[in-house]
Structure 1
Amino acid sequence: MAEAHQAVAFQFTVTPDGIDLQLCHEALRQIYLSGLHSWKKRFIRFKNGVMTGVYPGSPAGFMVVVVSYMSYNKYKQLDPSLGLIAKLGQHIPIRTLFMTVRYMSTDSQRIVGGVLVGTGLWVTIIMIMRNVLKSLLSWHGWMHARHGSVSWSTRLWMLLVKVFSGRKPMLYSFQNSLPRLPVPSVKDTCRRYLESVRALMDDEQYERMKGLTKDFEKNLGPKLQWYLKLKSWWASNYVSDWWEEYIYLRGRGPIMVNSNYYAMDFLYVFPTSIQAARAGNAIHAIMLYRRKLDRAQIKPIYLLANKVPLCSAQWERMFNTTRIPGLETDILQHMNESKHIAVFHKGRFFKVWMFYDGRLLLPREIEQQMERILADKSEPLPGEENLAALTAGDRWVVTPWARARETYFSRGKNKQSLDAIEKAAFFVTLDDTEQRFEPDNPVKSLDSYAKSLLHGKCYDRWFDKSFNLIVFKNGTMGLNAEHSWADAPIIGHLWEHVLSMDPVKLGYTEDGHCCGEPHPNLPGPQRLQWDIPAECQDTIQSSLTLARTLADDVDCHIFPFDDFGKGLIKKCRTSPDAFIQIALQLAHYRDKGKFCLTYEASMTRLFREGRTETVRSCTMETCAFVRSMIRDETVREERLKLLKMAAEKHQNMYRLAMTGQGIDRHLFCLYVVSKYLGEDSPFLKEVLSEPWRLSTSQTPLQQVELFDLVRHPEYVSSGGGFGPVADDGYGVSYIIVGENLINFHISSKHSSPETDSHRFGANIKQAMLDILDLFQLEKKAM
């Protein structure tokens, strides 16, 4: 064991001749290398902090400015300090400084003064560039241009952005240059809200809601808005901290299914069937990504031809992070450094060190550690096997996790073992089941695969960790991610890196093992020890029972839609996302015979610390198109006209959401302010209690350059999904893969008589085909 190995670095015995020290040089060497690694990491963090803090400036720029300033003054025979040294000596009442100035030579004074003034000039240039860039990035007119066309004003704007963006930015370089999320006016938000619900209400309901809205807009709204404006001036983002706390951390229901989400492996590619080998490559790739993240070597994410940077704040807590339960609210515990991972297999927990000899373990060495865990035949300790069910159950005050953690895991071996899990870089499950896409049984195999990633057995994932890597017995793998610390595109960026590294760059030997050789002296994994009393075991069993009830109720359906993809949709001169969202509305109406409030996730990372906003996809225009598709007498030309209007409306709403002019985050924050002030608002109360019976999200492919989607479209993730938001609703996630494939992930609950994920999937497929058929592309090709 690693700890034991270092604990015997020295031994001593007391004899009549004195103390006899026996040093273990290998253990001392490992301690030295470990310390050296830590100091290197601290230095890199410090250096990156400096580089990010002065961006778009740089040390090289500092030298250029100072030397140029000194040279110019020398050429003009001017005092480089502009009299600064003399003034310091006269006016600053510090004797040491005065004496220093008095006894400095003239040349020394000129050099010191020149450096000081040059530094001030350099800082001034940085601040000017940063504020100009912030002003430029506050303009979003480029989003309203027609696809494929760029105006001269946009071209000039792009040139200015490039000029003021500096050279070779790191991940966090643009954080100080991003604009703050604007606060929409109460009047605009209320107007857009009424517009968004008109299609869902009859005349009587609408007139009633219109009255509540107007009363709020006139009376309480302006008062709440004043406080929100004050917060927007003071805080980096007026939404994100409240969103994280009240939507995620204060949520008292189970986070399994209700909050956590999953990401899938390749669908049609199976790099190896050896579980330990797949884990070895995946874990190594994840650790390489963490090293790049620590060194800020990950490139910023951009929009518009790599010109418009997005906020990178969410990357900060990807690793070494755990959600810690509390009685009323949870907290996110983030460690600056973690050198181990936690592994679960057949009811046992292990701590596995990721470094040896001052370096990261190689894939074959990690595979070696996984082989040792798989070969361990020891039985779980009492209460150990189902322990993680505590992270899957309810988080209400009267239920277990927070109280159990305080009562049974705050001291002794239980605390040490729990710390090993919560302070791990991430959590790994070596699952003892087999999951895979089976061409002979595609529906059942994919549904089982999704359910396993979403909730597993309810006790074999640590749902509180920032993410779990799950590696199945047959070598298939996936992720389960906790939602409060970041949104899906962040974990998706990591997952794209892992999948691009695994089969191609890291590779496997002919017999399916990781490349390389096992390490002859590598200390083995440490089995975590527990002493869980009977009362705590009862609590664990209670959580497990509740979690299993929730998991059994989830109806998952995943299907690859390969009839066409974004290639044909673009030929229709329609946004692929708008096309799919309209198809979902048509499918839902056919499925349930009615429209519903629809949630589509959009990002607000154009602004500092931005997270998400809601696009209310069920619009008047979309409903008009859907009704035209239901009525047989409507001619094709009329349907196409209505489809175009619905698509343009959707695109405009998406732009508004991305640029801080959305509805729901503003209303949410106004509601939080009203609660702080003790004000009761019937309007806000009703708005925030409306259920999202159709919750949708697109999984974006962010690093297209990592994959050859033309020749190998199968070498990309099949996307991921999440549980239903409403008990009688659907959750739909989709990923556009290449030009000819769209993967859909659908979830609902068996307990609802209104929903059926497989029925809805069939309706989605038919809706996609029916909408495409309107364009008659086959006739145009002829």
Structure 2
Amino acid sequence: MAEAHQAVAFQFTITPEGIDLRLSYQALSQIYLSGLRSWKKRISRMRNRVIKGVYPASPSSWLFVFIATLATLYTRFDLSMGLIAKIQEHLPVSRESVSVQAQAVVSVLVFSTLLWLSLILTLRFCLKVLLSYHRWLFEQHGRVSTTTKIWAILVRVLSGRNPLLYSYQTSLPCLPVPPIKNTLERYLESVRPLLSDTEFKRMTALAAQFEKTLGNRLQRYLKLKALWATNYVSDWWEEYIYLRGRGPIMVNSNYYGMDFLYVTPTAIQAARAGNTITALLLYRRKVNSEQLKPSRLPGTVVPLCAAQCERMFNTTRTPGLETDVLQHWQDSEFVAVYHQGRYFRLWVYNAGRLLSSREIEYQIQRILDDPSAPGPGESRLGALTAGDRVSWYNMRKQFFSSGVNKRSLDCIEKAAFFITLDDDEQGMKGDDPAGNLDRYAKSILHGKCYDRWFDKSFSIVVYKNGKNGLNAEHSWADAPTVAHLWEYTLATDAFQLGYTEDGHCKGEVDRSLPHPQRLTWDIPREVQEQVSKSLSVAQALADDVDCHVFPFRDFGKGRIKKLKISPDGFIQLALQLAYYRDRKTFCLTYEASMTRLFREGRTETVRSCSNESCAFVKAMERGEGVEQCRQLFRLAAVKHQNLYRLAMTGSGIDRHLFCLYVLSKYLGVESPFLTEVLSEPWHLSTSQTPVQQLELFDMKNYPDFISLGGGFGPVADDGYGVSYIIVGEDMINYHVSCKRSFADTDSHRFGGQIKQALLDILFVLTPIKTEEQDKKQQ
């Protein structure tokens, strides 16, 4: 009752003496402060719109142009070449009411504003042209051309100072549509090592027939789309690859991020949750105010598209009959919390003020100490988000569209993000650290299949021993965007917010804060039956996933760079060698590459299995000489780097063919070539999670604060999913997944093959020192 009274701003009773009005000044104060915060955010958004609207110039530059124009007028030098006089003649003002001098000033004002806007458009166009230049990516390291040097200087000059998060968006080039002939040639080259001579001849004939007949027609439509669409791939990719999938998104689509490998900042669950929530909300504040620095290609001045940040918070994927929908709300002042089968709404703002991490810890502890039991059907309700999408849509439409269920569901879907307070303990602990890491990965990936809300843009899991993790829904953004958020969260939690000596969050507590609100449900028998069905589907999927996580510490990118080889190319060729040893064959390999050099860019596929990589692997397995293997490796590494650069610069294969396939479906025509290409399985799906904010981590003074990175489930039933993160100079963390139901795959066996392949390749590439060389070095 105390919380209910605090929520009432005023009360009144009618007495014989009149109306007795009793105001709650505390409640009115909170209403005022909350409204003040909302208006401050509106003003901040308006200010940011102005700054972005005039970028790469600044609002203050208008005053400079106006004063300069006015000064030239008084020096009798007409900068406008008669335009100011023309404007003065056509001013809609009476000459009797306004002096000639005032008219001149107004004319200068109009002209200088038009000139200023013209300069902005010109600068923006020039920057867009400069950012369309990608030849620098293909130049050898240390051999930068004069053209590229001049280009880099111009980009730096035109980029302005202190750009906002979204300042570059309108200056980024659009993704180009590659020539269909080039795409088909690269496709045929990519499948050559996987096909017999007869199969390759047949596929070549299919490709030629497609190009001559349907291909050019589809290409014209695609170019037409590219003329008016911001990105000709992204909307179709989001809809058809993610949102139209009717199967479970748990494991199949969602991915995970893990905590520090060797340390846990505190063993107190509520304290870790308090700091984690605070760090996430501080990041959201930076995104909303656009004070987050724009991401750039590492080591360059080239900006990357930031569009994926827009739907990071307050976003939920809602189920549909044929396609899901991403719903995003402008703001949310609460998070949704799950603990022991109960759902809570936790307000993280009080009277317009963000709660301190200590206050959030206090509120989390209240949830942990809450003795109430789950309502009927409540504890496993989250399984609906883990099962197939049509069943969840039908339940949502019939039983969650009104009343108490809708209000509670709205609290979850409109929350900034979702938090699970898990009763398990996870991490690299105990007598079986390797096995515990594997169980930790599986726990974050799917949990108990009902204690996560897989529809949320991301969910945070905080375990009983203080370990944490992140589960992300894939449709709204790709892993690098979420990894940037998670890096900031871990670093802010450990190094900025910190903990007291006894493991609690720092700060003071306002103990008059209202209790977290328990969400209530009315779950009928039909919903409970569907929850059981969805849970059985999700449980079978979760039980089938085999995860293996291991840190490789024999060497890292420091040793690889000394050999003058790209670390990513080295790792990808090691994966090719490992897969061949594991399955005695080559396979179509998917490596994710980003296309965020372009506006609204997402990913492209690098087909890492090439003629060159296969030649190297065969030479290794035949036991050919070290020098021969070394030469073949370098050829394969150069080929891989070229493929990666082509994918980054819009000349990839798969997104182009995917869009042509979508167009063929819209036109109602069948293409045997496209049907076969789009049905080819990716038996090896790989992805690198790059460390993007090295400045946040002090690897020298705090070497144990190393992130494990994250991973994902297998893409093919008979294949492997491999994610890796290069940490520091001497460590690479791997996440391997496959399905237990397929007898020929084993994540632990494949992990062992990866380790051995890395060591074998390093041995081949490391020159053997002679005694004379040793004496010279001494």
Q: Please classify the TM superposition score into its range, dividing by the shorter chain length.
A: over 0.9
Query: Shift of the alpha carbon at 1:306?
Result: 3.8
Matched, 1:776 2:766: yes
Report the CA distance shift for 1:191/1:220 in structure 2 as closer, same or farther (over 3 A). same
Q: Aligned partners of 1:331 and 1:85: how far apart in 2?
A: 55
Contact 1:81 1:112 in 2 (8 A): no
Residues in 1 aligned to 2:732 and 2:322: alpha-carbon distance in whole angstroms = 41
TM-score using structure 2 length = 0.97
1:24 partner amino acid: S
Q: Residue by residue, what CA displacement relative to the aligned partner does 1:225-275 show, whole Å, maximum 9, x if unpaired? A: 001000001000000000000000001111000000000000001111000
Q: Is the 8 A contact 1:89 1:102 kept in 2?
A: no
Per the alignment, in what secondary structure is the counterpart of residue 405 of structure 2? helix
1:67 is matched with 67
C-alpha distance after superposition, 1:48-106 (max 9, x if no partner): 1111111001111111111111111112265979565765765xxxxxx7345652222
Shift in alpha-carbon separation, 1:305–1:763, aligned structure 2, 3 A = closer
- Compared with structure 1, are the counterparts of its residues 678 and 101 closer, same or farther at alpha carbon in structure 2 (3 Å cutoff)? farther
For 1:508-527, what aligned pairs fall within 5 Å after superposition?
A: 508-527=499-518
Distance of aligned partners of 1:3 and 1:481 in 2 relative to their CA distance in 1, 3 Å threshold: farther
Residue in structure 2 matched with residue 529 of structure 1 by the alignment? 520
User: Counterparts of 2:89 and 2:5 in 1: how far apart (Å)?
Assistant: 60
Superposition CA RMSD, Å: 1.6
1:94 match: none
**1:543 maps to 2:537:** no
**Are the structure 2 counterparts of residues 11 and 439 from structure 1 closer, same or farther at C-alpha, using a change threshold of 3 Å?**
same
2 CA distance for matches of 1:709 and 1:69? 54
Is the alpha carbon distance of 1:78 and 1:641 closer, same or farther for their aligned partners in structure 2, counting shifts above 3 Å?
A: closer
Of stretches 651-660 and 117-126 in structure 1, the one that deviates more from structure 2 is 117-126
Cα distance between partner residues in 1 of 2:82 and 2:374:
76
**Residue 617 of structure 1 contacts residue 650 of structure 1 at CA under 8 Å; is this kept in 2?**
yes
Residue 284 (structure 2) pairs with residue 290 (structure 1):
yes
SS in 2 for 1:36: helix
Aligned equivalent of 2:34: 34
Q: Is this contact kept in 2: 1:2–1:526, CA < 8 A?
A: no
Using structure 1 for the length normalisation, give the TM-score: 0.97
Aligned match of 2:45: 45
CA-CA distance at 1:499 after TM superposition: 1.1
- Gap change, CA 1:581 and 1:747, over 3 Å in 2: same
> Partners of 2:534 and 2:298 in 1: how far apart?
47
Cα deviations across residues 389-425 of structure 1 (Å, max 9, x unaligned)?
A: 1100011x4xx20010111111111111000000000
- What is the aligned counterpart of 1:342 among 318, 336, 340? 336
Indicate whether 1:475 and 2:466 are aligned: yes
Question: Which one-letter code corresponds to 2:705 in the other structure?
Answer: Y
Alignment CA distance shift 1:640-1:317 (3 Å): same
SS of equivalent residue, structure 1 residue 608: coil
User: Against the structure 1 CA distance between its residues 84 and 6, is the aligned structure 2 distance closer, same or farther, given a 3 Å change threshold?
Assistant: farther
Report the Cα distance in structure 1 between the residues aligned to 2:2 and 2:40, rounded to whole angstroms: 21
Amino acid paired to 1:659: T
The SS at the match of 1:263 is: strand
8 Å contact kept, 1:79–1:110:
no
Cα distance in 1 for residues equivalent to 2:326 and 2:84 = 49
The number of residues matched between the two structures is 772
C-alpha contact (below 8 Å) 1:562/1:740 kept by paired residues? yes
Equivalent residue in structure 2 for 1:133, among 127, 151, 175 = 127
The reply to whether residue 571 of structure 1 matches residue 562 of structure 2 is: yes
Q: Which moved more, 1:513-522 or 1:408-417?
A: 513-522
Taking the TM superposition and a 5 Å limit, the aligned residue runs for 1:41-440 are 41-76=41-76, 78=78, 82=82, 90=90, 98-99=92-93, 103-303=97-297, 305-395=299-389, 397=390, 400-438=391-429, 440=431
SS in 1 for 2:549: strand
Q: Deviations over 1:524-562 (max 9, x none)?
A: 100001111111111111101100000000000000000
Mean Cα deviation higher: 431-440 or 410-419: 431-440
- Does the CA contact (< 8 Å) of 2:382 and 2:449 recur in 1? yes
Deviation readout 1:578-605 (Å, 9 max, x if unpaired): 0000000100010011111000000000
Distance verdict in 2 for CA 1:78–1:5, change over 3 Å: farther
1:81/1:110 contact within 8 Å kept: no
Question: What is the letter of the counterpart of residue 249 of structure 2?
Answer: I
AA paired with 2:254?
N
Partner of 1:624, secondary structure, is: helix
Q: 1:765 aligns with which of 755, 763, 771?
A: 755
Alpha carbons of 1:589 and 1:3: their partners in 2 closer, same or farther (altered >3 Å)? farther
Match of 1:93 in 2: none
| 2:650 aligned with 1:660 | yes
1:340 and 1:353 in contact (8 A); partners too: yes
CA distance in 2: counterparts of 1:102 and 1:360, whole angstroms: 58
In structure 2, distance between residues paired with 1:777 and 1:717 = 32
Whether the aligned pair in 2 keeps the contact of 1:341 and 1:351 (CA below 8 Å) is: yes
Distance 1:100 1:591, change over 3 A: farther
- Shift of residue 108 of structure 1? 1.8
Q: CA deviation at 1:711?
A: 3.9
Give secondary structure in 1 for the equivalent of 2:20.
strand
Q: Report the 3-state secondary structure (helix = DSSP H, G, I; strand = E; otherwise coil) of the residue aligned with 1:404.
A: helix
Q: Does 1:723 align with 2:717?
A: no
Question: In the alignment, is the contact (CA less than 8 A) between 2:262 and 2:706 conserved in 1?
Answer: no
Give the 3 Å change call, closer, same or farther, for CA 100–676 of structure 1 in structure 2.
Answer: farther
Q: Does 1:692 align with 2:677?
A: no
Letter in 2 for 1:203: D
The residue number in structure 2 matching 1:621 is 612
Which amino acid in structure 2 is aligned with residue 649 of structure 1?
K
Shift of 1:754: 1.4
Q: Which moved more, 1:658-667 or 1:69-78?
A: 69-78
Structure 1 contact 389–543 (Cα < 8 Å) conserved = yes
Indicate the residue corresponding to 1:458 in structure 2: 449
Contact 1:89 1:101 in 2 (8 A): no
Provide the C-alpha distance between the structure 2 equivalents of 1:39 and 1:81, rounded to a whole number of angstroms.
Answer: 45
Counterparts in 2 of 1:9 and 1:210: CA distance versus 1, 3 Å: same
Say whether the 8 Å CA contact 2:356–2:508 is kept in structure 1.
no
Check the 8 A contact 1:364/1:516 in 2, yes or no. Answer: yes
2:489 pairs with 1:498: yes
Quickly say closer, same or farther: Cα 1:740–1:79, change in 2 above 3 A: closer
Q: How big is the shift at 1:673? A: 0.5
Unaligned runs of 5+ in 1: 91-96
3-state DSSP class of the match of 1:519? Answer: coil
Q: 1:727 to 1:10 in 2, by over 3 A?
A: same
Q: Which residue of 2 aligns with 1:599?
A: 590
Of residues 710, 713, 735 in structure 1, which corresponds to 2:703?
A: 713
- Residues 511 and 81 (structure 1 numbering): CA distance in 2 closer, same or farther, change over 3 Å? farther
Query: What is residue 668 of structure 2 aligned with on the other side?
Result: 678
- The answer to whether the 8 Å contact 1:216/1:683 transfers is yes
CA distance in 2: counterparts of 1:128 and 1:689, whole angstroms: 46
Shift of residue 18, structure 1, vs aligned partner = 3.4
1:151 positional shift = 2.3
2: CA distance between counterparts of 1:375 and 1:438? 26
- Percent of aligned pairs with the same amino acid: 62
| DSSP 3-state at the match of 2:92 | helix
Structure 2: which amino acid aligns with 1:258? N
Contact 1:6 1:28 in 2 (8 A): no
Which is further off, 524-533 or 514-523? 514-523
TM-aligned CA deviation for residue 714 of structure 1: 2.7
Query: What is residue 586 of structure 1 aligned with on the other side?
Result: 577
Pairwise CA distance, 1:439: 6.5
How far is 1:12 from its partner? 1.9
Rounded Cα–Cα distance in structure 2 between residues aligned with 1:723 and 1:700: 19
Query: Relative to 1, partners in 2 of residues 1:137 and 1:15: Cα closer, same or farther, differing over 3 Å?
Result: same
* 1:632-681 deviation line (CA, Å, top 9, x unaligned): 2x111110010001000000000000000000000000001101101100
3-state SS of 1:323 partner: strand
State how far apart, in whole Å, the 2-side matches of 1:643 and 1:290 are: 44
Which amino acid in the other structure matches residue 681 of structure 1? S
Name the structure 1 match of 2:15: 15
